[in-house]
Amino acid sequence: MSSPPSALVSNSRSPTESITGVVERITYYSEESGYTVARLQVPRFHDLVTIVGSFPTIQPGQTLKLQGNWKEHPQYGQQFQVVHYSETKPATLTGMEKYLGSGLVKGVGPVTAKRIVAHFGLDTLDIIKNQIERLIEVPGIGKKRVAQIAKTWADQKVIKDVMVFLQGHGVSTTYAVKIFKQYGANAISIVNENPYQLAIDVYGIGFLTADKIAQNIGISPWSKYRYRSGILHVLSEAAEDGHCYLPQPELIEIAVKLLTISEHKTESESVALVIQEMRQETQLIVETDGEVPACYQPSFFYAEQHLGKLLSERLYRQSELDLNRVREWLSKFTSLHQIQLSAQQQQAVEIAASSGVMILTGGPGSGKTFTTRTIVALWKAMGKKIALAAPTGRAAQRMSEVTGIEAKTIHRLLEFDPSNRGFKRGVDNPLPYDAIAIDEASMLDLFIAHSLLKAIAPNTQLLIIGDSDQLPSVGPGNVLKDLIDSNCIPVIRLTEVFRQAASSAIIRAAYQINQGYYPKVEPISDNPASDCLWHGGGTEPEHGVQAICDIIQHLVPQLGFNPATDVQVLCPMTRGVVGTRNLNSVLQKLINSPHCDKAEIERGGQIFRVGDRIIQLKNDYDKEIFNGDLGIVTEIDRTEQEMMIQFDQRYVKYDFADLNEISLAWSVSIHKSQGSEYPVVIIPLYMQHYIMLNRNLFYTAITRARKLAVVVGSSKAIGLAVSQQRAQHRYTRLQKRLLSAQSGK
């Protein structure tokens, strides 16, 4: 067997030469840069040739004409470094089969490709380009499949043009398909005119990426598009941190830093002027009834303002009630079920019987669940039509189990309509219930709370249930805390921990954390029978990774749990050795290792494999899948370029282009775990995450465990998490709006 002549390799000054061959396989491809290592079959060489260079996309079976130079890599040997390339038609029937069946064309796999080439021979590509309707002649291909192939073939050309264009301007090719799906054939013209539109329309492309494209295209750094996009980006980033608005001086300060680049210094006055213009054009709302102007995106302002109004109006609606009859019913109910209510629980039931809105809060083991069940039973006895809901499917399922009445997710309750990306239920079409209870209310962000209140009829009673000491919602706002702190809404806080709950080390530790005490967590070696354990013995994050693996491999099965279905690792952050990104890679190999029977695909630096647990990263209203939903990969179809994911009892198809909307979920952030419970929770706490460590983060994490919690990490990090009480400050004015409405009445 011979390789490319050594004379060609050793002569680094040799002129550029050309080779032509068929791509045999892709060894490495970076979606971020397009850098590719591939193996090429060149007729004049017996051995496969290694080629390296930047390509928008290439597929096995493609015939490429390459220009470049031979180089000797110290580790990998001879390589052909590509300077320029062009694609030519495959010259052989085998090449055509490989090209068509490589996954390049959605709907054409190896079997279909073989049939097409067998029928049309070397004319195959000409037929597809010019007479694609003739594919109907091929046995096994119907009209529907022909239409699909035709559309994909046409799309591929536009996608390739878009990818070449974007790569030419230094943009990741990862988003080319998504850009094409958003804009179609107009993609290049839209990007050329206003690349900042990408930051608004395409998930995953933010201001920084759009700004990079704009600079490469030659858009002026003084462009109005740039300034406006930068200001909206700052507000969007603030919303990611939970803020509903930013004070104008803070918005200007952050925007100046963002917009200043080496060749352009941004002045505060210029940003202030653009804010004023955006205000006049209602692209921004600037509320000035305070010491410092508050800058809102319009949707945030109107949602917060209207939510405050709806809640305030509800406070003055009380149902007629015979309190003695309620107490008689309660006496019979408790006697029948041989139970006893605390004074706080009895008060909660009595107030919920008549109030327009009430909040029930308290920690784990304080009887929120039992109190809710009693209130629902009373409503039922009063003949009320009842609805129960929670932000997540798992929380709704738990609510159903304890009350005996079906509970829905809030999105299902409000009847989400994918066709218009909104809810069918609202002010003009309210929910047909007399009483509604909402659990896990700490998860309610501004927009879902507003949608919910709009859909509840004026005379419907509303019970809001949640633990105000947990982390606030992932989305903007701090709704539950604002409502409680306003002192406008009746609040019953359950503080007594019942005897049965107090026997749980998890619950005892949760209260110790919440009160600022170092929790009593038993070392694994001392007391493996406890339901709240600590694996210490090291301060380095690398120790944490090994410890987590040992726990999952040995302790978890020993205690009768399934590592693949019962365990959830919860991290303070995504970055770092014991962050979710690294742990997901490690745990995937441990729990769902590669196998010839398991299909897999790599996207965005992650490998997705059949059997993997995944988490949804954004609301997808078309699929009716929402931020934080967990699923299992059940199928990967390279021919159709689709992945099937099971969410509870639903199966949802994902196009490969949409895989940046999901991530592996063997490990998830503590924020993403809100509203969920897991049989076993493992919590790594290391000083590497010191900036995030605080009391309500730790409290939220440990209360996610239903049967076993294991804290892995240093005692110093645990102590820091307990001592830091800084609740994340969020810019909201809901509390102020409630107080203003009350004083106005």
DSSP state of 132: G
Q: Is the pTM of this model over 0.85?
A: no
Is residue 279 classed exposed, middle or buried when 0-12, 13-18 and 19+ CB atoms within 10 A define those classes?
Answer: middle
Residue 9 in this model has a pLDDT that exceeds 50: no
Compare 278 and 45 and report the one with higher pLDDT: 278
Q: What is the pLDDT of residue 8?
A: 37
Percent of the chain with pLDDT over 70: 93
**Structure confidence at residue 660 as a pLDDT band (50, 70, 90):** confident
Distance from C-alpha of 424 to C-alpha of 435, rounded to nearest angstrom: 19
Selection from 82-86, 91-95, 300-304, 648-652 with the highest mean pLDDT: 300-304
Least Cα distance to 59 among 10, 19, 123, 108 occurs for 108
Please say if the pLDDT value at position 11 is more than 50. Answer: no
> Which of 588, 524, 550 lies closest to 580 in space, CA to CA?
588
Which of 4-8, 125-129, 210-214, 218-222 has the least mean pLDDT? 4-8
pLDDT classification of 365: cutoffs 50, 70, 90:
confident
The pLDDT of 386-401, averaged and rounded, is: 90
User: Looking at per-residue confidence, does 442 or 627 come out higher?
Assistant: 442
- Please give the pLDDT value at position 608: 95
Q: What is the mean pLDDT of the chain?
A: 87
Query: Tell me, what's the pLDDT at 10?
Result: 37
Q: How far out from the chain centre does Cα 634 lie?
A: 19
Mean pLDDT over 428-439 rounds to: 96
Give 369 or 170, the one with higher predicted confidence.
369
Tell me the pLDDT tens digit for each residue of 447-480. 999 999 999 999 999 999 999 888 888 889 999 9
Rounded CA separation 17/346 (Å): 87
Listed range (157-166, 178-187, 582-591) with the worst mean pLDDT = 157-166
Tens of pLDDT, residue by residue over 266-280, are 899 999 999 999 999
- On the question of pLDDT at 30 being above 90, the answer is no
pLDDT at 167: 65
Q: Between 126 and 712, where is the model more confident?
A: 712
Q: In this predicted structure, what is the pLDDT of residue 726? A: 63
| Contact call for residues 98 and 124 (beta carbons, < 8 A) | no
Q: Where is 417: in which H helix or E strand? A: strand 416-417
- Please, where are the H alpha helices in 634-745? 695-702, 715-723, 734-744
| Mean local confidence (pLDDT), 339-355 | 91
Whole-angstrom distance, CA of residue 452 vs CA of residue 460: 12
Q: Is 324 helix (H, G, I), strand (E, B) or coil?
A: helix
What percent of the chain clears pLDDT 90, i.e. is strictly above it?
48
341-369 average pLDDT score: 91
pLDDT (0 to 100) of residue 12: 41
Determine the pLDDT at residue 31: 62
**pLDDT score at 563:** 94
**Range of weakest confidence among 303-307, 468-472, 616-620:** 616-620
Domains along the chain? 19-89 (2.40.50.140), 224-296 (1.10.10.10), 312-498 (3.40.50.300), 504-713 (3.40.50.300)
> Residue 5: pLDDT band by 50, 70, 90 thresholds?
very low
For the cut 50, the answer to whether the pLDDT of residue 13 exceeds it is: no
Pairwise pLDDT comparison (331 vs 129), residue with the higher score:
331
- The yes-or-no verdict on residue 282 having pLDDT over 60 is yes
- Give the model confidence (pLDDT) of 170-189 as tens digits: 666 567 767 877 887 788 88
Q: How many angstroms separate the CA atoms of 93 and 90, rounded?
A: 8
The model's pLDDT over 525-566, given as tens digits with 9 standing for 90+, comes to 766 778 999 998 677 888 899 999 999 999 999 999 999 999
What b/e string do you get for 217-226 counting C-beta neighbours within 10 Å, with b at 16 or more?
eebebeeebb
Beta carbons of 513 and 698 less than 8 angstroms apart:
yes
SS3 for 425?
coil
Residue 351: predicted pLDDT: 92
| pLDDT number for residue 7 | 36
The average pLDDT across 386-404 equals 90
Cβ pair 303, 446 in contact under 8 A:
yes
Strands 630-637 and 642-647: antiparallel
pLDDT of residue 56: 67
The whole-angstrom separation of Cα 185 and Cα 179 is: 10
Residue 730 CA: distances (Å) to CA of 247, 295, 441, 445, 482: 11, 14, 17, 12, 10
Q: Give the closest residue to 61 by CA, choosing from 35, 88, 100.
A: 100
Return the higher-pLDDT residue of 226 and 63.
226
**At 501, is the pLDDT very low, low, confident or very high (cuts 50, 70, 90)?**
low
**Confidence class for position 228, pLDDT limits 50, 70, 90:** very high
